[in-house]
Amino acid sequence: MEMFIPLAITLSYMVIAVILGYSSGKGRNMNSVEEWGVGSRSLGPIIMYLLIGAGGVSAYTFMGSPGWAYSKGIPALYVVVYLTYMGIIAWYFGPKVWELGKKFKHVTQSAAISDRYESKSLGALASFVTSIGILAYAVIQTTGSAYILNVMSYGKIPTWVGVFLSLGVISIYLYRSGLRAISITNAFQGGLMLFVSFFIGLWATNQFTGGYSFRPIFERVKEDIPQFLTLPGGLGDMSVTFWTTSILVSVFSIWQTHWIQWMGAKSRSSIRRAATLLPTYYIVLIPMIVVGFIGIFAYPNIANPDQVAITYALENMPIIVAGLLGAGTLAASMSSSEPCVHATALSYSKDILQPAFKWSDDKAGIWTRRLIFPIMFFIIAPISIMQPASLVYILLIGYGFIAQAFPSIVGMFFWPRATKHGAFWGIFAGFVITVLFSFVIAHPLGVHAGIWGLLANFTIFIVVSLMTQPVTRNTVEKFFPDMVDELYDNNIPTDPSIQTKLN
């Protein structure tokens, strides 16, 4: 029975998460979108720090990053780089988004786009396209949860059972408490992940080298397999161009999940303080990358690189330490999965279904909570069970879709001349190009499909906007109060043939 103690520790974590998450919404009306969706905009800087940090650090930390270090080497660091850039994005855009949302009662990114461009159709399109990337991310996390339960139970819990078990646990507290459940569980999960990562990394380093410095491990890699410390990496499949454009498309991806989390802050300064500290959280990845390097020498022929860290822990560490790694990995998976389900349900309800069926706010609030179940069990679960690609590759493809909202966001804050037609056809073209270059002609010239989509998107966004009428003066005054006279004093040329109805 001793062999199942790590599994018992891992499952205990799930029980604690349910208790914390479920009780966080006690005494509150969760049928209100303002409460369930953005927690009445009440989160302070420490909670925001752990909410965004733990939400961004996923199953990749304990499975994908050691897996990539094991199989490819240094390309695994691309996540550390892009997460740091995302901290800058949060620092700059977060307070602006919060101020806009508080003033005009936006709760989602697509709602803000609809308001800025006076087009519900555009908001629905943005919601659908960006949700593809968000759901891909949820699939990664759910797959990671199932992996860890399967390994910790020595195969007694099949992957499909692990998928439904992890989603079932999340659904309990997410339905009950919305963003409040995410914030309190992420705070718990975030602290647990930081502790487990450094504990496991230093323990494995001491076992392998007799000390706690990572340096001897990198020196061994440099001496025995130097190609693992340079691009294109150990497998030779991560070119400089693809590595760089993968980071670039990540930088342009302003997630629906992050947008909603920013809306949950109690002030602008809460977001800015949290974002300033965010890079300190992302060092959580480094010890686990080191464990992946150790795995190269300990397990030269492991079948699934994503399981190298947990395999090493189960076979070389005390069972309690292995159990902590299981709990930490599950925490990483669930802390990233729950915001994706929450954001998708919120956006589908508010940005697609409410305008389409003309729901009242009360009815939309009720259906927002209910939507988490079909999203989990009819979209995320089947794809997670099929496991169509490696964890990291699913994530890379997903970013290409999320980035397609970026030109519209630029038009929201910086360019009053941008029009709904330019934004709509830009996103549509970017979506088509991203699908084509992700699945049919994979990443031409080694450039990420999302970057190709973004190039087409930006081009059409600018050209069509210059040929069509901007939004009404009232809307321009809402978003650009200092620029309205300058815009409407100009004689704006338009092409009537492009003026199609999008409302």
CA angle (367 as vertex; 262, 427 as ends), nearest 5: 55
Can you say whether residue 178 is alpha, beta or left, with left for phi > 0 and alpha for psi between -120 and 50 degrees? left
pLDDT reported for residue 294: 95
pLDDT reported for residue 111: 95
pLDDT reported for residue 144: 82
Adjacent-strand bridge partners of 265:
43
Give yes or no for a cis peptide into 232 (omega within 30° of 0).
yes
Contact criterion met (CB below 8 Å) for 447 and 248: no
pLDDT reported for residue 386: 83
Helix (H, G, I), strand (E, B) or coil at 501: coil
CATH for 2-378, options being 3.90.950.20, 1.20.1730.10, 1.20.1740.10, 3.30.70.100: 1.20.1730.10
**What size, in residues, is the chain?**
503
Q: What is the pLDDT along the chain (503 residues), one digit of tens a residue?
A: 677 888 899 899 899 999 999 999 888 888 898 999 999 999 999 989 888 887 777 777 888 889 989 999 988 888 888 888 888 889 999 999 999 999 998 999 999 999 999 999 999 999 999 999 899 889 888 988 898 888 888 889 999 999 999 999 999 999 999 999 999 998 888 888 888 899 999 999 999 999 999 999 999 999 999 999 998 888 887 788 988 888 888 888 899 999 999 999 999 999 999 999 988 888 888 999 999 999 999 998 888 888 889 888 888 888 888 888 888 888 888 888 999 999 999 999 999 999 999 999 899 989 999 999 999 999 999 988 886 655 566 667 788 899 999 999 999 999 999 999 999 999 999 999 999 998 888 889 989 899 999 999 999 999 999 999 999 988 988 998 877 777 776 655 555 555 555 55
Query: Which residue reads 């800087």 in tokens?
Result: 45
DSSP label of 265 = B
**Cα-based distances in Å from 439 to 241, 397, 433, 434, 435:** 19, 9, 10, 8, 6
Count CB neighbours of 224 within 10 A: 10
Adjacent-strand bridge partners of 43:
265
CA distance 124 to 131: 10
Contact criterion met (CB below 8 Å) for 313 and 231: no
Count CB neighbours of 298 within 10 A: 18
Helix (H, G, I), strand (E, B) or coil at 255: coil
Tokens, residue 335: 């802390």
- Listing DSSP states for 356-408 in one string gives HHT--HHHHHHHHHHTHHHIIIIIIHHHHHH--S-HHHHHHHHHHHHGGGHHH
pLDDT reported for residue 452: 95
Domain ranges of the chain: 2-378
pTM for this predicted structure: 0.88
